[in-house]
Structure 1
Amino acid sequence: MAVDTSPEPDPAPAVLLHLCTPGEWRSWLDAGRIAPASLDEVGFVHLSTSDQVALPAQRLFAGRTDMILLVVDPAVLETAGVEVRWEPGVPTDPASMVFPHAYGPIPVPAVRAVLPYRPGPDGFTAPEPPVPDDDGFRAAHFEPSMLRRVADAEEPVTGGVAIRTATFPASRVHNRLLIDRAHLSDSDTLVAEAERTLTAHGLPAAALLNGPGARELATDLTAAGWEVHELELLAGPAGRDATGAAAVVSEVALDDVREFRKSAWGTDPAGFGPDELAQLVERTGDEDRVLAVHLLAVVEDGAVVAAATLRRDGATAWVEGMDTAPEHRGRGHGRALLARARELAAEHGCDLVALSADVADRPRDWYLRAGFAVVGTRFQARRPG
């Protein structure tokens, strides 16, 4: 095979992008490598830069609203021995344009972030260049990316998007505004957008505020009577916990933790009813459609007494739902769950484990003592009633 001698751009791009469907990515997560059907046909995996990716997107997927971009770290490809050549695309592409082609399967740990890629009124356009070597970027984009891929309805709003998930109307996190450019919005605008995209559909007005201006917007919403919580994004390395843990942690199925989760959610002061509790439990299974979900539990005498959820999306993992039954607390079960989550993440090639914690709650300090560090701040807001 002849090797094209087209030079790599100078400076070399910090990231490369692979355009794909959510279903393709989910299957590659399980396989541990990105190997589209075209790899056997042409011998390489097609990649793009941020400036280029709109071209193949518009040519191949015009009108689709569910595409995603895998943010690939070229340094990981080099370490894995995957050669990247800069070569022409199809004959209709500009003559001066050369694309990065990866000659071999791409290891899943090379994917530093997964970003929803939606067309605008005029089709696909160049996305903002991502910053995958920033732990704060990776942590901040993990949960919103997952939620947008699970949602069955998405609408643009000032500063972000609104998501609705008809299967789980009781889930606040699956039905709200996801604001990542808070400086573009003010409290009156946000309230109006929430009423248009959420309240009008019978859903409570709620928002997750990220990005520049989030604190100022949160302050204004508090003054307007909204309930606002400041959350810190925490991140730590994946890997084995050298301190060890006494409890044995098992990976279990949703059926095994269903009743435990219902019991834990049933103590929420919001007072969820049986149907709402069922939605909150079952949503975990739906999230497994778009990324890898691992349910971890401590089991004693055949019953789950503590549980946690680990989600994987490329090289980044996310811990959530760390719960221990009240009568079993103080015995190190939480430490054992966290240790196993970090170990399991590393086994799958993740190098970063992230989570969010309310600054006013005790678990935040517990995570800091466990070696996590603050990498960002966000705000969770909802209008009472």
Structure 2
Amino acid sequence: MQDFRLSFARRQAAEVREVPGGFLVLDGRYARSHEHNQLHIVGPADPEGLPALADEAMAFLPHRQITVHDQALGPLCVPALERAGYRHVTEVLMVHTGPVPRAPAADVVERELGPDPHGPLRRAVTAQQRRWMPDADERTTHDLVERRTARLAGAEQVLFLAAHDDSGEITSWADLYLEPAAGIAQIEEVVTAEPYLRRGYADAVVSSALRRAAAAGCALRFLVADQDDWPLRWYGRRGFTAIGRTHVFSRF
């Protein structure tokens, strides 16, 4: 899984720069997206030296983000990076160990984020982004919505899945990254629009993603969840099991 995630980060990047212990990904098209402008550390690395390394490598960016993928190294980096003003989030890698759902709970259609700025998925994602960040400027909203286009290059197949209600309005969505040759699939960014919460739409999207991944021959199906947020338990009830952790450090 780590190899897949690192490969995905490199493949979707507009530019990759090697640094001691890892690499820096950059994409000026989505400058406000921390996902696309951050350091990936795989080790070995000096925890005390990471703040200076980030300042040097990302000097031209207004933010700092460092993802430490090594499970042993990550916790060792917490004291030095927190002293340097970084916020720490632990991400949990979860593998699907339950049965593949037989059918989704609601209609799910596959939609790609194409060039149409008024497409239904783009509208839904934009509306939800503005609910999350009502004070964000237009450039920030643009980057956080449009960055999905970069993800198309990250894996052999990248699908954007969406559930909809009876009127056809998109209610929930997720990314699905497939690497059939390696037998690996990742489900990412599962979101339900706030007006449609607690109606089973996210279940429909995750169910569809698992079925598509299994049909593509991906026996290893995983996702990433915040250790301190409620979706971790929600995924656990749907057959996902925690098997590892990465550590993300951010400073704004």
In the superposition, the TM-score normalised over structure 1's length comes to: 0.59
What stretches of structure 1 move > 4 A for 4+ residues in a row? none
Q: Which amino acid aligns with 2:19?
A: V
Compared with structure 1, are the counterparts of its residues 231 and 363 closer, same or farther at alpha carbon in structure 2 (3 Å cutoff)? Answer: same
Runs of 5+ in structure 1 lacking a partner? 1-137
Instruction: Please give the alpha-carbon distance, in whole angstroms, between the structure 2 residues aligned to 1:270 and 1:226.
Output: 24
Which deviates more, 371-380 or 216-225? 216-225
Give the 5 Å matches for 1:1-385.
138=1, 140-181=2-43, 183-187=44-48, 189-198=49-58, 200-211=59-70, 212-237=72-97, 240-242=100-102, 244-254=103-113, 255-269=119-133, 271-291=135-155, 292-300=157-165, 301-314=167-180, 315-384=183-252
Residue pair 1:234, 1:373 contacting (<8 A) in 2 also: yes
Q: Distance in 1 between matches of 2:98 and 2:111?
A: 21
2:32, 2:144 within 8 Å by CA — same for their partners in 1? Answer: yes
Q: 1:327 to 1:256 in 2, by over 3 A?
A: closer
On the 8 A contact 2:23/2:40 being kept in 1, the answer is yes
How big is each residue's C-alpha offset from its partner over 1:266-320, in whole Å with a ceiling of 9 and x where there is no partner? 2335843222222222222222134211111112213111111111123111111
Q: CA deviation at 1:143?
A: 2.6
> Which residue identity lines up with residue 177 of structure 2 in the other structure?
R
What SS class does the counterpart of residue 267 from structure 1 fall into? helix
Q: Tell me if structure 2 keeps the 8 A contact 1:316–1:351.
A: yes
Q: 1:306–1:334: 8 Å Cα contact kept in structure 2?
A: yes
Following superposition, the deviation at residue 336 of structure 1 comes to 1.1
What is the Cα deviation at residue 170 of structure 1?
1.0
**1:84-118 superposed Cα distances (whole Å, 9 cap, x missing partner):** xxxxxxxxxxxxxxxxxxxxxxxxxxxxxxxxxxx
CA distance, structure 2, for counterparts of residue 290 and residue 361 of structure 1:
26
Q: Deviations over 1:133-176 (max 9, x none)?
A: xxxxx2x2333221211222222222211111111111101111
Q: Is the 8 A contact 1:295 1:309 kept in 2?
A: yes
Distance verdict in 2 for CA 1:239–1:169, change over 3 Å? farther
- Give 3-state SS (helix, strand or coil) of 1:376's partner: strand
**SS of equivalent to 2:94:** strand
1:279 maps to amino acid? D
Letter in 2 for 1:322: V
Structure 1, residues 341-374: CA drift from partner, whole Å, max 9, x if none? Answer: 0000111111111111111100011111111111
Q: Distance in 2 between matches of 1:233 and 1:263?
A: 28
Q: Sequence identity, in percent?
A: 26
Q: Aligned partners of 1:373, 1:217: CA distance in 2, in Å?
A: 25
Once structures 1 and 2 are overlaid, which stretch shifts more, 172-181 or 309-318?
Answer: 309-318
Task: From the CA coordinates, give the structure whose radius of gyration is larger.
Answer: 1
1:199-228 deviations in whole A, cap 9, x for unaligned?
x22341110011131111023212332111
Q: Aligned partner of 1:381: which letter? A: F
Change (3 A) 1:276 1:380: same
Is this contact kept in 1: 2:10–2:154, CA < 8 A?
Answer: no
Cα RMSD (Å) of the superposition? 1.9
Looking at structure 2, the residues matched to 237 and 346 of structure 1 have their Cα atoms a distance apart, in angstroms, of 12
Give distance in 1, aligned partners of 2:64 and 2:100. 41
Determine the C-alpha separation between the residues in 2 that align with 1:221 and 1:271.
Answer: 28
Gaps of at least 5 residues in structure 2 are: 114-118
Kindly tell me the number of residue pairs found equivalent between the two proteins. Answer: 242
Q: Relative to 1, partners in 2 of residues 1:221 and 1:269: Cα closer, same or farther, differing over 3 Å?
A: farther
Alpha carbons 1:158, 1:190 under 8 Å: kept: no
Answer yes or no: is the 8 Å Cα contact 1:239–1:346 preserved in 2. no
- When the two structures are superposed, what TM-score results if normalisation uses the length of structure 2? 0.89
Q: Deviations over 1:12-53 (max 9, x none)?
A: xxxxxxxxxxxxxxxxxxxxxxxxxxxxxxxxxxxxxxxxxx
Structure 1 CA distance for aligned equivalents of residues 10 and 24 of structure 2: 9
More contact order relative to length (CA 8 Å, sep ≥ 6)? 2
